[in-house]
């Protein structure tokens, strides 16, 4: 397994590739993303174990979205079963993916627990969708402190697991090795990932600005939110498509896919 070092401008290329690939198969990829979101939401609603269970399943289902993007990039139509790609490689592969998911769930719960200690769970309930806070509550020092505590812990967790599902599934690495090599790859290509993140933030801001301007021109008023929500979902679907290309261009592909 060879690590490729890419220039910072590759981050912009990843964004373009994600959007372009999504537009090749918009119905299929959007449908798969909505199924992914619905499944994670339903699982997370299970009392007591829902959120940890959803986090355990998240790396494997994210791998499914990457596999679907891979199919679309090759000109194929990704089927719904692609979402289960991470769990269909046999007993050993399933075990590795579940262990990887358990490690991610542990990191996520540590981040959530840290922010809970800061404000007594206010931010955590909002993040998990249990509450809709007021503007005053969101600007409170405790809420802000909890938010930054969560970000400070969850960001390195995200780097640890950025490439890990793909390395576990396509390269056959054990979970701990895939997490280690994911972190090394992210740090070695940090400039490209920073450009990648900044470009997606810019795309999101432009999309929201466009929707807001259109809503104002059409005098939609309180209905603006009904336009913003599907736009956010489509942007998220494109973002998940672009994740595959961050992996593909970072590691030598065992299947012979060319960057």
What is the percentage of the chain residues whose pLDDT exceeds 90? 66
Q: Where are the domains of the chain?
A: 22-189
pLDDT tens per residue, range 174-204: 999 999 999 999 999 999 999 999 999 999 9
Per-residue DSSP letters for 205-259?
HHHHHHHHHHHHHTT-GGGHHHHHHHHHHHHHHHHHHHHHHHHHTTB--TT----
Neighbours of 225 (CB within 10 A): 10
Query: What's the pLDDT tens digit per position in 225-258?
Result: 677 788 888 999 999 999 999 999 999 887 545 4
The residues with which 251 forms a beta bridge, in sequence order, are 3
pLDDT class of 259 with cuts at 50, 70, 90? very low
- Computed over every residue of the chain, the mean pLDDT equals 89
> Do residues 157 and 107 touch, judged by C-beta distance below 8 A?
yes
Tell me if 80 sits within 8 A of 87, measured CB to CB: no
Decide: 181 and 163 in contact? Cβ < 8 Å.
yes
Residue 221's pLDDT band, with cuts at 50, 70 and 90, is low
| Whether the Cβ atoms of residue 65 and residue 243 lie closer than 8 Å to each other | yes
Among residues of the chain, what percentage have pLDDT more than 70? 93
User: What SS3 state is found at 3?
Assistant: strand
- Confidence class for position 128, pLDDT limits 50, 70, 90: confident
pTM: 0.88
**In angstroms, how far is CA 157 from the centroid of its own chain?**
12
Confirm if 62 and 82 have CB atoms less than 8 A apart: no
């Amino acid at each position: 397994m060879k690590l490729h070092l890419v220039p910072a401008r590759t981050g912009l290329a990843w964004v373009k590739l994600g959007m372009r690939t999504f537009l090749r198969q918009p119905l299929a990829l959007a449908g798969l993303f909505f199924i992914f979101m619905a499944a994670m939401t339903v699982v997370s609603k299970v009392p007591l174990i829902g959120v940890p269970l959803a986090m355990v399943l998240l790396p494997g289902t994210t791998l499914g979205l990457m596999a679907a993007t891979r199919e679309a990039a090759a000109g194929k139509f990704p089927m719904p079963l692609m979402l289960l790609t991470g769990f269909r490689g046999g007993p050993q592969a399933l075990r590795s993916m579940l262990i990887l998911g358990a490690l991610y769930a542990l990191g996520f719960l540590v981040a959530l627990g840290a922010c809970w200690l800061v404000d007594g769970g206010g931010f955590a309930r909002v993040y998990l969708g249990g509450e809709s806070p007021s503007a005053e509550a969101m600007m409170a020092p405790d809420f802000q402190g909890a938010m930054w505590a969560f970000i400070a812990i969850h960001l390195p967790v995200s780097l640890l697991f950025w490439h890990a599902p793909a390395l576990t599934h396509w390269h056959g690495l054990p979970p701990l090795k895939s997490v280690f090599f994911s972190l090394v790859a992210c740090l070695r290509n940090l400039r490209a990932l920073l450009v990648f993140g900044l470009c997606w933030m810019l795309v999101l801001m432009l999309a929201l600005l466009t929707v807001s301007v259109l809503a104002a021109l059409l005098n939609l008023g309180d209905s603006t939110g009904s336009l913003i929500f599907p736009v956010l979902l489509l942007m998220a679907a494109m973002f998940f498509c672009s994740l595959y290309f961050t992996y593909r261009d970072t590691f030598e592909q065992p299947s012979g896919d060319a960057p």
